[in-house]
């Protein structure tokens, strides 16, 4: 009697508090982006109740040590602002060009074939990825990632004052936006893999039935990501159902990242094998000719064309974790990824549609 009752505030499960004492809890490790060496604090008042915000019927807690990663200086805020601008422009250009490409391939009946159907699925996956990013930003950041970071770091995470949410329905929209973003992100990786599998099959399978495999490719590209994203959402809801799911929840991320990394690795292997075959055929074609420079130029051209189609740029930083939101290496990685990822749809539309001889 007289002690503050144990309580879950949506982030930490607070133990029983002694009146007049401050309770300290380690920053939760399941929130991957938190500073795990810090502590969160609550005060139990002399009446045996958790201290409230003056003039407001909300429980006070201090998460400033956990949220150190958000205390950006002016230079770091400029970096986030620049990254936000890069991917917004990139995805907007990609979305526009892909929309035109889908209309072209869909309108002209002479372009209707298995190869172009697969291209259209890939285009749509890029479009949904771009749109889901815009929706996620609108839900999480209300139009500006930079403004939201400033608002959160100054008002919320330095002193979280929300009472334990009895009704979590207020966060449903946010969770749905994040879940759909992850699903469309995964489908995009898997449709890039489908393109690689299709091209690889045409080269290495003498009797390849395109129509027969189209339904299989469709189920693979849209269905398999639904399986592991649904599994992630179920586990997240059961084990780490924080206010919104935009912050990583420790090892739960691997439920989604392992299948995506597997798709990237398999596609890279297919890419290397196809380049090997192209190099072999070029050597056979140019056997006895003295000019080897033309042979290398053709191989280089083929390689550069295939790189965005196979998502080869993903392999560069795929093994690097997002553990430190600072530093030169992190900036290089993020600028590289935001630039190539956001404009990849634009390059794919150019290669598969606008530079397609059939079109």
d(CA 286, CA 319): 39
pLDDT tens digits, one per residue of 238-262:
887 776 777 666 678 889 989 999 9
Number of compact structural domains in the chain: 2
Question: What average pLDDT score do residues 114-121 get?
Answer: 90
Question: What average pLDDT score do residues 36-49 get?
Answer: 88
Question: Could you tell me if 95 and 33 lie in one domain?
Answer: no
Bigger pLDDT: 144 or 351?
A: 351
Strands (DSSP E) contained in 270-320 are none
Question: Could you tell me if 35 and 155 lie in one domain?
Answer: no
359 within some domain: no
Task: Give the burial class of 1: count Cβ atoms within 10 A of its Cβ; 0-12 exposed, 13-18 middle, 19 or more buried.
Answer: exposed
Structure confidence at residue 75 as a pLDDT band (50, 70, 90)? low
Q: Could you tell me the residue range of the domain that residue 9 belongs to?
A: 1-66
CATH number of the domain enclosing 79: 1.20.1070.10
CB half-sphere exposure, 277, CA atoms < 13 A? 11
Question: Could you tell me if 115 and 48 lie in one domain?
Answer: no
What's residue 163's pLDDT? 40
pLDDT tens digits, one per residue of 152-202:
343 444 444 344 444 455 578 888 999 999 999 999 999 999 988 888 888
Sorted by sequence, the CB contacts under 8 Å of residue 55 that are 6+ apart come out as: none
Query: Do 358 and 111 meet the contact criterion of CB atoms below 8 Å apart?
Result: yes
What's residue 207's pLDDT? 58
Of 36-50, 169-183, 283-297, 300-314, the poorest mean pLDDT is in 283-297
What is the 8-class DSSP label of residue 143?
T
d(CA 230, CA 284): 49
Take residue 259 and report the two structure tokens written for it: 């299948």
CATH number of the domain enclosing 46: 4.10.1240.10
pTM: 0.71
Of 299-303, 333-337, 346-350, the poorest mean pLDDT is in 299-303
Structure confidence at residue 279 as a pLDDT band (50, 70, 90)? confident
């Amino acid at each position: 009697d007289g002690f503050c009752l144990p309580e879950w505030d949506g982030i930490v499960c607070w133990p029983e508090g002694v009146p007049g004492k401050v309770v300290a809890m380690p920053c939760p490790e399941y929130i991957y982006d938190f500073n795990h060496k810090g502590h969160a604090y609550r005060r139990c008042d002399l009446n045996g109740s958790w201290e409230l915000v003056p003039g407001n019927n909300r429980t006070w807690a201090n998460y400033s040590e956990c949220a150190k990663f958000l205390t950006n200086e002016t230079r770091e805020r400029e970096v986030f602002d620049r990254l936000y601008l890069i991917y917004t422009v990139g995805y907007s250009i990609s979305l526009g060009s892909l929309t035109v490409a889908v209309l072209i391939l869909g309108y002209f009946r002479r372009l209707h074939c298995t190869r172009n159907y697969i291209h259209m699925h890939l285009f749509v996956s890029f479009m949904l990825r771009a749109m889901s990013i815009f929706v996620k930003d609108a839900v999480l950041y209300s139009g500006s990632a930079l403004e939201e970071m400033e608002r959160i770091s100054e008002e919320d995470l330095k002193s979280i004052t929300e009472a334990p949410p009895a009704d979590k329905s207020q966060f449903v929209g946010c969770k749905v936006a994040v879940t759909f973003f992850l699903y469309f992100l995964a489908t995009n990786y898997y449709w890039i893999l489908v393109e690689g599998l299709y091209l690889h099959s045409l080269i290495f399978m003498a009797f390849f039935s395109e129509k027969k495999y189209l339904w299989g490719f469709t189920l693979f590209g849209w269905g398999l990501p639904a399986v592991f994203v649904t599994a992630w959402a179920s586990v997240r809801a059961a084990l780490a159902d924080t206010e919104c799911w935009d912050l990583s929840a420790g090892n739960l991320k691997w439920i989604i990242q392992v299948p995506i990394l597997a798709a990237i690795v398999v596609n890279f292997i297919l890419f290397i094998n196809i380049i090997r075959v192209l190099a072999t055929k070029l050597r056979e074609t140019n056997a006895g000719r003295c000019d080897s420079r033309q042979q290398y130029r053709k191989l280089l051209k083929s390689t550069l064309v295939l790189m965005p189609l196979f998502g080869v740029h993903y392999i560069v930083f795929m093994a690097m974790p997002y553990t430190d939101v600072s530093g030169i290496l992190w900036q290089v990685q993020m600028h590289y990824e935001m630039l190539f990822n956001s404009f990849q749809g634009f390059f794919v539309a150019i290669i598969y549609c606008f530079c397609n001889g059939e079109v």
